[in-house]
């Protein structure tokens, strides 16, 4: 199937979304995303930052789609023509979306653990305005523990549903979800339930903002002062692909490793790059020459 | 004499019960369809009639039925959207409350055309007492053999269920309705796939408004051809209009499409003029989400032709000088109405009812409400009008479902036609009393 994005054409297999096609071309035409997570089914479509304009529907039906579409949830059709960065309308609309995402965000990056690896920060720098036009009180919530190792800071949440879908599709038994409606909607656990499932820690890694943070790492270090190192630990439950974040010789944080091109064994196909709680907690403060860890790369320079 | 089809027997005592309804010629369409027509012929009749969806969008019903995917071995469903929540619209409640069998009859006939073994009536939570009336009517229909196995010996079996929602406006959006019907959180789905391909429990589904389904009965009884002769142009048949506001006779009226708006407002047969001898200021013609029009534009189009109650005539001039027929919630305002105050009521509603799934609607509706309340509390600046305009333009068309548009259109139209009122409030810093409303103060 031939698709043209911002004047660049390429052939993609059937079922590819506009976003995936744009990412194949390269980062200069790929729209930014907040709520889309490639490993999840039915993910995306909510944040509206990836909206693009379809100027030609397909060869069979060349009419343009009147409204901008979410590129992460729209599959390409043969002969489709899409405008992203070349359309001022799309850029203007995206600016609006970024503004909406930020009006109730506390903008507390200086004290936020996610700062430095926050998608919303990147998005704000790339597409946001320098100052806010919002002059009302911002939404505020109490911070809560939604599990023994997870802190929920709802003020920062952009309701991308990524943690909800991760819990639903990957862990056995989802105990948290979105409560209430509209701008009162919030992530919460079911009454007296906590996220203590083995895989539940992964919701921290999929959170694009600082809403879900790792309690073992809160306020310990700024991300840019730590060095990431990918490692492997033999594990019967998960992939065992971990990323150790080092401060000197000490492991201060453990997350899942994002290693593109890594071949997963079929046993862990669904869990892909997710890791279980044992590693998240257990690898902290262990000496680096621990037997169970096999190092892949010495260091990764940038994150 | 104006044609009435749906509310023809509204004045008959006991029309709520099956016996009286049957004596008045009820269930004739089921008899005719099941005994003499094939399902495709029923669909053809509906196509011929030119019936358009009465829920608001005005999409041709026959065409919608034609889109229904019919794979082998997969059940199909008909879902009736009785989640009538648009402020200013109460026609479906009136119909279901007084002539429940008209809906049940339409459900059976339509399901026969679509080949649906089961159908659901999704009714909003606030209409709980209406759901009991409907359930009673369904029980009567089962007892008389109009529902159940092998209806009229035709081999067609059908079950109809009433499901009460919890009272969310968003569940009137068809995909959110299906989610809610499935027992999930009522969030709209991302389309495609459309319900005609994957709807209720992933099966092909048709979702129709109450009035649309009820209108199928007269179409089958009198024939599609005859029905298409009622009305004007592509707006065929009759339409229930819920008239409210500053008029002498608010209520539900059945009009033949093509009736002049002026006649509808001022004739004694309908609204009976503006109450207390005041002047007409503005009209919201089709439920709160359609653009408001000032008196001169609602009575006459920009070209100076009289405006008619029809899909085309009301939409003439686009959104610059026109509006929409929508769901038929006709709200009339007299010359003492504050458009900004009215707009705040609408904006508060959409803020409250936004599902919170996509960001422009979740954040934007609340922002708009706060900005409008600024005008009324005397803290607004003139530049806030431009900001409000900018916010609405960034919501419209950027959302998953049409609630974003429904929230943005009234704001856009109020600024378009009544900008001077906003500016006046901003200049005078006047304080308008808002009842039962927590004032939102900007943080300095």
Comparing A78-82, A232-236, B222-226, which segment has the lowest mean pLDDT? A232-236
Q: Which residue among B185, B360, B400 sits closest to A45, beta carbon to beta carbon?
A: B400
The larger pLDDT score, comparing residue A264 to residue B400, is at: B400
For A172-183, how does the pLDDT look when each residue is reduced to its tens digit (9 = 90+)? 778 888 888 888
Q: Which residue of A has its CA nearest to B387?
A: A133
Residues of chain B positioned with their CB less than 8 A from the CB of A33: none
Residue A282: its pLDDT value, please? 66
Break chain A into its structural domains and give their ranges. 2-90, 140-214, 223-294
pLDDT for the residue B214: 93
**How close, in Å, is residue A145 to chain B by CA atoms?**
23
What confidence category does residue A61 fall into, taking pLDDT thresholds of 50, 70 and 90?
confident
Residues in chain A within 8 Å Cβ distance of B352: 182
Average pLDDT score, chain A = 82
**How many angstroms separate the CA of residue B429 from the nearest CA in chain A?**
18
Q: Do B440 and A97 touch (CB under 8 A)?
A: no
Give pLDDT < 70 ranges for chain B: 1, 430-444
Closest approach of B244 to chain A, Cα-based (Å) = 28
pLDDT at res. B137: 94
Is A293 at the interface with chain B, CB within 8 A?
no
Do the chains contact at A96 and B387, CB–CB below 8 Å?
A: no
Across A54-67, average pLDDT:
88
B397 Cα to chain A: minimum distance (Å) = 6
| Interface predicted TM-score (ipTM) of this complex, two decimals | 0.86
Burial of residue A125, with CB atoms counted within 10 A of its CB: 0-12 exposed, 13-18 middle, 19 or more buried: exposed
Residue A197 distance to chain B (closest CA, Å)? 23
Query: Long-range contacts made by residues B417-424, C-beta under 8 angstroms, separation at least 24?
Result: B417/B282, B417/B292, B417/B293, B417/B294, B417/B297, B418/B282, B418/B292, B418/B294, B418/B339, B418/B340, B419/B385, B421/B338, B421/B339, B421/B340, B422/B340, B422/B375, B422/B380, B422/B384, B422/B385, B422/B388, B423/B382, B423/B385
Beta carbons of A97 and B360 less than 8 Å apart? yes
Q: Which two tokens stand for residue B288?
A: 């709160």
pLDDT at A166: 84
Other CB atoms within 10 Å distance of the CB of residue B442: 16
- Which whole number is the average pLDDT over A180-201? 82
Would you state the structure tokens that stand for residue A162, as one six-digit string?
Answer: 């990524």
Long-range contacts of B371-376 (CB under 8 A, 24+ apart): B372/B340, B372/B343, B372/B344, B372/B347, B372/B411, B373/B344, B373/B434, B373/B437, B373/B439, B373/B440, B374/B440, B374/B442, B375/B340, B375/B422, B375/B425, B375/B426, B376/B340, B376/B341, B376/B344, B376/B425, B376/B431, B376/B432, B376/B434
Q: Which of B353, B387, B443 sits opposite A182 (nearest CB)?
A: B353
Residue A294: pLDDT band with limits 50, 70, 90:
low
A237 alpha-carbon distance from chain centroid: 23
pLDDT for B303 equals 87
pLDDT of A269 over the 70 cut:
no
Residue A259's pLDDT band (boundaries 50, 70, 90)?
Answer: low
Query: Is B258:B300 a contact under the CB 8 Å cutoff?
Result: no
**Residue in A with minimal Cα distance to B370:** A136
Chain A interface test: which of B318, B359, B371, B405 (most A C-beta within 10 Å): B359
User: What is the dihedral sign for C-alpha B335, B425, B342, B284?
Assistant: positive
For A82-96, A270-284, B381-395, which range has the lowest pLDDT when averaged over its residues?
A: A270-284
Identify the pLDDT of residue A265. 41
CA distance B69 to B82: 23
The CATH class of A2-90 is alpha beta
Query: What was the pLDDT predicted at A132?
Result: 87
Say if the Cβ atoms of A93 and B394 lie within 8 Å.
Answer: yes
Architecture of domain A140-214 in CATH? 2-Layer Sandwich (3.30)
Confidence of residue A291 (pLDDT cuts 50, 70, 90): very low
Compare A276 and B399 and report the one with higher pLDDT: B399
Measured between CA atoms, the residue of chain A closest to residue B388 is A133
Contact list in B for residue A158 (CB cut-off 8 A) is 359
């Amino acid at each position: 199937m031939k698709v043209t994005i911002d004047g660049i054409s390429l052939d993609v297999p059937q079922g590819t979304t506009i976003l995936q096609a744009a990412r194949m071309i390269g980062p200069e035409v790929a729209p930014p995303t907040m709520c889309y997570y490639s490993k999840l089914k039915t993910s995306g479509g909510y944040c509206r930052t990836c909206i693009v304009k379809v100027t030609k529907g397909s060869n069979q039906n060349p009419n343009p789609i009147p409204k901008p579409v979410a590129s992460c949830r729209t599959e390409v059709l043969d002969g489709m023509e899409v405008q992203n960065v070349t359309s001022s309308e799309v850029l203007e609309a995206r600016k609006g979306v970024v503004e909406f995402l930020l009006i109730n965000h506390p903008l507390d990056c200086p004290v936020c653990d996610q700062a430095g690896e926050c998608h919303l920060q990147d998005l704000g720098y790339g597409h946001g305005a320098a100052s806010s036009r919002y002059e009302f009180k911002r939404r505020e919530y109490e911070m809560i523990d939604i599990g023994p190792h997870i802190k929920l800071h709802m003020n920062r949440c952009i309701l991308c549903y990524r943690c909800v879908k991760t819990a639903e599709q990957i862990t056995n038994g989802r105990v948290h979800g979105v409560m209430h409606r509209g701008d009162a909607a919030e992530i919460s656990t079911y009454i007296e339930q906590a996220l203590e499932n083995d895989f539940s820690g992964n919701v921290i890694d999929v959170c694009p903002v600082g809403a879900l943070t790792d309690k073992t790492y809160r306020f310990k270090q700024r991300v840019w002062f730590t060095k990431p190192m990918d490692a492997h630990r033999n594990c019967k439950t998960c992939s065992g692909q971990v990323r150790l974040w080092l401060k000197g010789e000490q492991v201060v944080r453990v997350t899942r490793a994002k290693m593109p091109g890594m071949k997963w064994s079929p046993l862990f196909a669904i869990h892909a790059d997710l890791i279980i709680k044992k590693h998240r907690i257990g690898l902290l403060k262990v000496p680096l020459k621990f037997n169970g860890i096999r190092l892949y790369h010495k260091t990764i320079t940038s994150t | 004499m104006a044609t009435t089809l749906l509310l023809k027997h509204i004045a008959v005592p006991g029309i709520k019960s099956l016996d009286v309804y049957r004596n008045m010629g009820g269930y004739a369409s089921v008899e005719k369809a099941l005994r003499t027509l094939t399902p495709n012929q029923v669909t053809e009749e509906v196509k011929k009639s030119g019936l358009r969806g009465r829920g608001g969008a005005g999409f041709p019903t026959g065409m919608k039925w034609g889109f229904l995917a019919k794979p082998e071995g997969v059940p199909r469903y008909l879902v009736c959207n009785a989640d009538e929540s648009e402020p200013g619209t109460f026609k479906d409640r009136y119909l279901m409350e007084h002539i429940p069998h008209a809906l049940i009859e339409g459900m059976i006939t339509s399901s026969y055309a679509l080949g649906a073994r089961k159908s659901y009536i999704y009714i909003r939570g606030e209409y709980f007492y209406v759901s009991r009336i409907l359930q009673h009517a369904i029980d009567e229909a089962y007892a008389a053999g109009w529902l159940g196995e092998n209806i009229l010996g035709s081999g067609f079996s059908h079950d109809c269920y009433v499901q009460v929602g919890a009272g969310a406006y968003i569940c009137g959006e068809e995909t959110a309705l299906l989610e809610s019907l499935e027992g999930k959180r009522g969030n709209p789905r991302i389309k495609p796939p459309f319900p005609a391909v994957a709807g209720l429990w992933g099966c092909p589904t048709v979702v129709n408004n109450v009035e649309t389904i009820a209108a199928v009965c007269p179409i089958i009884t009198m024939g599609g051809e005859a029905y298409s002769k009622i009305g004007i142009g592509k707006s065929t048949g009759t339409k229930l209009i819920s008239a409210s506001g500053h008029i002498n006779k608010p209520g539900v009226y059945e009009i033949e499409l093509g009736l002049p708006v002026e006649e509808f407002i001022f004739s004694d047969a309908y609204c009976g003029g503006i109450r207390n001898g005041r002047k007409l200021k503005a009209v919201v013609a089709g439920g709160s989400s359609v653009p408001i029009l000032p008196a001169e534009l609602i009575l006459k189009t920009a070209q100076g032709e009289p405006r008619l109650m029809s899909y085309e005539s009301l939409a003439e001039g686009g959104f610059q000088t026109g509006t929409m027929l929508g769901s038929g919630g006709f709200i009339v305002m007299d010359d003492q109405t504050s458009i900004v105050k009215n707009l705040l009521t609408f904006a508060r509603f959409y803020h409250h009812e936004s599902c919170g799934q996509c960001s422009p609607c979740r954040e934007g509706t609340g922002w708009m409400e706060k900005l409008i309340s600024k005008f009324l509390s005397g803290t607004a600046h003139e530049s806030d009008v431009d900001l409000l305009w900018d916010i609405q333009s960034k919501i419209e068309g950027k959302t998953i479902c049409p609630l974003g548009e429904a929230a943005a259109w009234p704001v856009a139209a109020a600024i378009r036609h009544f900008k001077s009122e906003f500016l006046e409030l901003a200049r005078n810093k006047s304080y308008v009393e808002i009842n039962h409303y927590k004032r939102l103060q900007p943080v300095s």
